[in-house]
Structure 1
Amino acid sequence: MTSVIGTDSLRDIRNDMMHRVEKSALDFLEQEHARWSALDREAGATIETIAALMRSGGKRIRPEFCLSGFLAAGGDPHDESIIAAAVAVELLHTSALIHDDVFDESAIRRGAPAAHVKYATRHRDNDWRGDADRFGESVAILAGDLALGYADAFLAEAAGARPSVLAAWSEMRTELQIGQHLDVVAAARFTGDPKLSRTIAQLKSGNYTIHRPLLIGAILAGRPDLAAAFETYGLAVGEAFQLRDDLLDMFGDTDTLGKPAQLDLERHKMTLLLSLAIERDPAVRELVERPEAEADGLQRSLLASEMAAEVEKHIAGLVVAGGTALADAELEPGWRAELIALAHSVAYRDK
């Protein structure tokens, strides 16, 4: 059981574990790349795609919550099972990012060409046969699938004698895939539906980003009793995370975000922010219902509607609700405050 109370000490423990997570993931990918490249120089291409994305940085929010759930539940920081679980969570996220960029036709990820763009360019540069864009998308889809397979392998290693971890993992994977599908459908329909948009946000953010990683950590620490508190916290903070994502996409800039800004509008993504605006502002609804809704016009309309200010208030309420959900949870000393601090960090981030 952890006995350290100081916030800095708690973070030092988690940061040390995060370094182990990153080393474990990158060492594994390096070994896999060497193994398959020895078979054929092209065989390691998809592995390099995964490794390059992981090396490029990222917020590591999901493994951070996984480690935090484990430590808050009294897990031993030296337990290797939680390291494997955190690697699995980040590999699942890597898989989703690679696929997302194909779905959204996004050219940039973390300031560099997205995987499908990189391989389409390679196809053109080598004057290979066939359609270059189709080739790039094919390689990216395969890389995303491989990352998912690796994630499953790490999670199986982590589960060990706790098969209930596998159930939580399976549910997390399913929620993500269903959320992705509903996201694609909502973009095609492009009609305001706050209930559906909130469901998508819960599946793709509340559960996949925060709730399930926390739960997996707690189960590995032998504390499945924390499931209810972590679910309530995770759904509230996850919605705040998604709304911040929507605001950043709507009003941010590409250089800061490391991915195209206003892409959700350009791709007609029915975000939770836009759904709420459609429900509350007839001018926004009128713009959306036009056959060719223009991103610039929607952005100006949203600014004029003061929707951003309303969403900021809602985010603040969600962060408070997340902290309240932990009020009666039996957590290790200092961890309620640290989880509230994490809620603030994801809800008020700038990229």
Structure 2
Amino acid sequence: MRAAVFQGEKEPIQIEEVDRPSFGPDDVLVETEACGVCRSDWHAWQGDWDWVGVSPKQGQVFGHEPAGTVIEVGENVDSVSEGDRIAAPFNTSGGTCRFCRDGRGNICERLVPLGFMSFAPGAFAEQFPLRNADVNAVQIPDGIDPVDIAGLGCRFATAFHALVHQADITPGDWLAIHGCGGVGLSAIHIAEALGANVIAVDITDDKLDRAVAMGADRTVNVSEVEDVPQAVKKHTEGSRGCDVSVDALGVADTCQNSINSLDKAGQHIQIGLTTQEEEGWVELPIDNMIYGEREFITSFGMPPNRYDEILRMMEEGKIDPGKIVSETISLDDVPEVIQSLGDYGTAGIPVCNEF
């Protein structure tokens, strides 16, 4: 079968013929219908994240935002059948550890990131295996386009988990989103559905225009202001600052700007993962956070048992991950699109739906 294959750090990804993936008795084999192209693919291609143990080897098949149809089922699988249409979380869980038992499978002790480990080949391929299908397979309701599910991917699901489960947002709250890529636009769309007043922050007008189309009420162009936090605060009632602020990019400036945009008792939500520049370390204004009891909260993926919340909202038209999709591409386009994500030129989520 054809797949997009990693050749080494910063080396061009190649489309190659590879063996059909194997799968175990607890797993399923899925024919890929769509898979989002994510900045996390770019991070891994760059060689980022070796400081947290993610270091893909040559021959790895990327792709961690899939939707597809089950074509073979392991003998121990009970909840999934051939012909079922499914999605999968990017951070697949084992289902038995203390976190999984507590409904927090997204931080499973035996977590395996789909598409970044040799024993978990990804979905930039005609077929991909899904481990522990009874835990990780997310049934797609009839009538939902697989491209929309790929738009759900890791970015929309992570943003949903961040705002719905991790943050304390009530209608009318002021919420800033720093970085309007795929996860930032997802957060804007979700925040609008929650009734928040949304301030979008980015360095380019085209992304800010897309943010307004997704529901942002105010915008701040970083390239046009000297003090980003103060520019954000001016949009809030009494210039007091935000109730919640999100770093959706993961560089030091966006993290610090997000924290400094907060009102007292505000919540900073860290979604963006860092680059080689930070290697996981960012200086924080600790005293300012303490004096105002400002919180630092994180979000990583979403528990697979809670995806039904998103799907129900999709079915009722409350949210639409497909609105974040910027373009559909073929498997042959995937290497170039991954490489281009380092230029921050993509407004939205590219989705591969031709294999």
More helix by share: 1
**TM-score, length basis structure 1:** 0.24
More strand by share: 2
Query: Whose radius of gyration is greater, 1 or 2?
Result: 1
